[in-house]
Amino acid sequence: MFDAKCRRRTAASGEDGKYESERAMTETMRLSVPLNALRSFEAAARHMSIKDAAEEIGVTPSAVSHQLRILEDLLGVELMRRVGPRLELTETGRLFSPDLTVGFTRIIQAVATVRQERKLGPLRLSMLPTFAVHWLSPRMASYPFARSGFELLISTTQTAVDLGAGVADAAVRHGSGQWAGVLSERLFDENVTLLGRPNDWQTNDENDIRQAISQTNLFLSQHRRADFQRWNETLPGGPTRPAAVTIVDSSGLGLKAAIDGAGITFAGIEIAACDIAAERLGPIMPHKVPANAGYYLCYPPALERDRRIRNVRTWMLAEAAKTCRPAEREKR
């Protein structure tokens, strides 16, 4: 009984000790003085000049002096004093400044390492599966993979990855082009319409087409419902009524189903341009409407001057211009 109680007390004491140790470590890691004040003192001590420290940090000399006063007040010691026209470190200041220099040097090196790692190796490019399969893949033969600065690491996802957190270096997104924290360049807008296999839709008679649609399954992306409703409401001669509507999670699935002959789909003419050119798909009716959204190449501002970003941007914009050219001729 006595031994059991002792063991319980010992265990409790060990847990308390562990808690106290963790709390002490947390307190140690918590910075009790402003980082700007430490930075101002370190630069001033290294240069032995308020003016030079201010120039390095990018603030005014009076701002550096103010930060020094804050630091001395918080620490309760004098770190620097002016002796005639020159600055002089106190004994405490002489002991304090080398450790700060080592610390800030390590911070600078750590930041440089992260930046360098992000700028080396292939460009990590994230994109929607639909874009990857139906737009990028058919054009890959013309991409200069072997050239330096053009290396890619491509990934696909239905969700927008966090470019600011470094999950990817750049991304192709679909939408209005307005996303917080990133720069976006429009690759192309979309015009949407019904698409099907050309061999299944060889008639030009509108009544025959409407009759065939009424007996066909429409594969509709969950993101295209509003576009389809607008297309149908503005269709000359009145709306169509497919035999069934199967909702899928992306335009890519709808395009694949239509190519395989499982039905028809509603998608962007531009994203399906290569499928249309290869006669795997074709517009069922001439009616089309703007999608009020497009595909954009997005990247964080920190990588705006990155050579890999410039390379893939130049190539994509050139390819996108080829995609848009037929639509531009139609408008004329």
Averaged in consecutive runs of 10 residues, what is the pLDDT profile of the chain (332 residues)? 48 52 51 88 92 91 93 93 89 93 83 60 93 95 89 92 86 93 93 96 92 97 96 96 96 96 97 95 96 94 90 93 51 30
* Confidence at residue 329, expressed as pLDDT on a 0 to 100 scale: 34
* Confidence at residue 43, expressed as pLDDT on a 0 to 100 scale: 92
Question: Taking the model in full, what pTM does it have?
Answer: 0.64
Half-sphere exposure of 84 (CA within 13 A, CB side): 0
Question: 109-125 in b/e burial notation, b at 16+ Cβ within 10 A?
Answer: eeeeeeeeeebeeebbb
CATH topology classification for 35-119: Arc Repressor Mutant, subunit A (1.10.10)
State the Cα angle at 80 between 57 and 28, rounded to 5°.
Answer: 75
Chain-centroid distance, C-alpha 109: 25
Question: 219-254 in b/e burial notation, b at 16+ Cβ within 10 A?
Answer: bbbebbeebbeebbeebeeeebebeeeeebebbbbb
Alpha helix positions (H), 30-49? 35-47
Q: Which residues contact 87 (CB under 8 A, 6 or more apart)?
A: 44, 48, 49, 50, 80, 81
Q: Which architecture does CATH list for 125-332?
A: 3-Layer(aba) Sandwich (3.40)
Rounded distance, CA 250 to CA 223, Å?
7
Tokens of 133: 């399969």
* Confidence at residue 132, expressed as pLDDT on a 0 to 100 scale: 96
Domain boundaries, the chain: 35-119, 125-332
